[in-house]
Amino acid sequence: MSLAELICPAGTPAALRTAVDAGADAVYCGFQDATNARNFPGLNFTPDELAEAVAYAHARGTKVLLALNTYPPAGKVDLWRQAADTAARLGVDAFIVADMGVADYIARTHPGVRLHLSVQAAASSPEAIRYYCAHFGVRRVVLPRILTIPEIRQIKREIPCEIETFIFGNHGLMVEGRCSLTNYLTGQSTNMDGVCSPASDVEYARHEDGSMSSQLAGFTIDRFGPEEKAGYPTICKGRYTAPHRPEGYYAFEEPVSLNLSRLLPELIDAGVHAFKIEGRQRSKSYVRGVVRAFRAAVDDIRAGRQANMADLVALTEGQKQTQGAFETKKWR
């Protein structure tokens, strides 16, 4: 049986302590800049805060993984290199990287620190994953959320590294690491600036009939009825009209969250080494509730008991959940 490590989100030092106390095996976090894919206002860590966080986590047997999972624009790689140097000095246990240049720098400069391949690298074939392992010493791959469990099982047989899969949280797939929708409307890049639907470009408006519209950079991307549950203001979750669909429809994805709580035993059996909970942008309340629930479930499974999961639907986007491609490629 795999170890089924629980990898938990930490957007702030307080959230990190919450995740550690709730039973995380590892927490992942980022600096307050473009080097990570949750470069949101008021979120993330200063170097001093990361130093304290590493000490807090290590004192309790929890690992700290640093997300360096964006792509440096040409000529601007120094920010990523400095972040790696700082975090290595502070004692993080692994880097989560997407860009080959960043991976190469860390492999050469900090060979003692583990490299994990981010979902943003979108490596979904044994050939691609083996390349990263052979050239940069990648020890773990975070798989894109487009694979079925039989496909994951097959990949595991053909690669020399650990597998991590998402089990809960945001389900905005697109082609991970290559989505340019935000860039198209706002000029800021999810992949290079770390901002998907930057808050500075988001606006909500309540209308007389009780409905609410969400806009990104002046473009309306959804309008929720008075009693309708809402989702994130991301273009991929927007609802659009078209000549053949005048009533409006979700052209890409629906506002829905991933929840694989029922598939945990199958994922472990398929050789998944670590389970990732999405949500560095979420509150301590979310971290506490989700980490506790999955800690209990994983412990039950390890002990040979039936996992009795808490209901997490209230924390999901649009208050809807899916098992996505993990259950079937036809999830939509």
Partner 1 sequence: MNTGVHTVSPVRLPGGGVVSRLACGVVQPILSRVVRRIARRHPSLFARLGPHQGTDFLIDPVDLPFALHLRPDPDALLFRAVPRDAVPQAGAVIRGRFLLLLELVDSEEDGDAAFFSRDLEVSGDTEAVVRLRNALDDVDGSIAEETAAMFGAPGRAVLARLRRAYTPEMERT
Residue numbers at the binding site for partner 1 (CB under 8 A): 11-15, 17, 40-43, 198-200, 202-206, 212, 224, 227-232, 255, 281-286, 288-289, 314-319
- In the chain, the largest separation of any two C-alpha atoms, in whole Å, equals 60
Question: What's the half-sphere exposure (Cβ side, CA atoms, 13 Å) at 253?
Answer: 25
Q: Give the amino acid at 40.
A: F
Between 72 and 231, name the residue whose CB sits nearer to partner 1: 231
Between 194 and 289, name the residue whose CB sits nearer to partner 1: 289
In 3-state terms the chain splits into helix, strand, coil percentages (rounded to 5) of 35, 20, 40
Between 147 and 258, name the residue whose CB sits nearer to partner 1: 258
Between 52 and 151, name the residue whose CB sits nearer to partner 1: 52
In the bound complex, what is the minimum distance in angstroms from residue 284's beta carbon to partner 1? 4
In the bound complex, what is the minimum distance in angstroms from residue 34's beta carbon to partner 1? 15
In the bound complex, what is the minimum distance in angstroms from residue 41's beta carbon to partner 1? 5
Q: Which of 196, 143, 169 is nearest to 279 (CA)?
A: 169
In the bound complex, what is the minimum distance in angstroms from residue 16's beta carbon to partner 1? 10
Instruction: Extract the tokens encoding 129.
Output: 């994953």
Contact 29, 16 (CB under 8 A): yes
In the bound complex, what is the minimum distance in angstroms from residue 285's beta carbon to partner 1? 4
In the bound complex, what is the minimum distance in angstroms from residue 32's beta carbon to partner 1? 9
Q: What is the C-alpha to C-alpha distance for residues 124 and 134, in angstroms, rounded to an integer?
A: 16
Exposure string for 42-77, b = 16+ CB within 10 A, e = fewer: ebbbeeebbbebbebbeeeebbbbbbbbbbbeeeee
Between 52 and 104, name the residue whose CB sits nearer to partner 1: 52
Between 107 and 230, name the residue whose CB sits nearer to partner 1: 230
Over 263-305, what HEC string results?
A: HHHHHHHCCCCEEEECCCCCCHHHHHHHHHHHHHHHHHHHCCC
